[in-house]
Amino acid sequence: MPQTDPTDPKPIVAVTGASRGIGHAIVKDFHRAGWEVFTLARTPFSAVCPWAEGIVKHIEVDLSDAGSIDRACETLRDRLGDRGLGALVNNAGISPKTEAGGRLSAQETTLDVFSRVQMVNLMAPLMLCQNLLEPLRKNGGAIVNVTSIAGTQVHPFAGAAYAVSKAGLSALTRELAFELAESGVRVNAISPGEIATSILSPGTDRLVEQEVPMKRLGSPDEVAEVVLFLCSQKSSYVNGAEIPINGGQHL
């Protein structure tokens, strides 16, 4: 298991989609906990992240392009050297909307859009797991996939392509957890519901009032804390789980 003893070398985590919202909170939580953090994103590292103080490492990658993913993983493996990887968090995802900003139904979704969503949300996490398996095995690392409540029930804002990709990511989590358990790599998922980020859809307040028993949005920090737990020794016997973080919305 990754160690967090201050006398030991820092454990290392790689996080996709860390520029805002849940991903940004995840990176900050790991940083505060003493982890060395690598971020992978399509855009350059943002200057609006002064908390990083130059410690966070950033690798540009287009998760819709298989070649870009391979190159980014090669770069990360080179930077890791022989240190291994303590955790991989597959957080990045896309959710296309209609031109008016509404839910994109299955009937309206073109094959090109459907394929791109599956590539970014499902196939990219698989490729990252495959490419980074050796350093993860070296450190007895953990993988956390970020799924969604939309993967298990029809959601008024998340479209069909997104829902299918997240349901697939849930299944992939189970498959990898079963396959990698004996090698010391644990694989789990978190399934957020309505979280207070900058990309909330109009009408979310009404949805929360009607469908969330706790009657409030979750915070990105509440999600990040569960991710950190799943990558730590505190969850050393947790494998193949998918933890809902939604205030009871799934009920």
CA dihedral sign of residues 207, 212, 213, 214: negative
Instruction: Give the containing element (helix H, strand E) for 229.
Output: helix 220-230
CA-CA distance, 248 to 251, in Å (whole number)?
Answer: 6
DSSP 10: P
Centre a 10 Å sphere on the Cβ of residue 98 and count the other Cβ atoms it contains: 12
Cβ atoms 11, 139 nearer than 8 A? yes
Distance CA 150, CA 156 (A): 9
Q: Which residues pair with 243 in a beta bridge?
A: 190
Q: Does residue 148 sit in helix, strand or coil?
A: coil
Which own/partner pairs from 176-181 qualify as long-range (CB within 8 Å, at least 24 positions apart)? 176/129, 176/143, 177/239, 177/240, 178/240, 180/133, 180/137, 180/143, 181/239, 181/240
Report d(CA 60, CA 43) in Å as an integer.
6
Kindly provide the b/e burial profile for residues 114-144, where b requires at least 16 CB atoms within 10 angstroms of the residue's own CB: bebbbbbbbbbbbbbbebbbebbebbbbbbb
Q: Is 162 designated active site?
A: yes
Which entry of 114, 122, 162, 173 is annotated as an active-site residue?
Answer: 162
Which residues participate in catalysis according to the annotation?
162
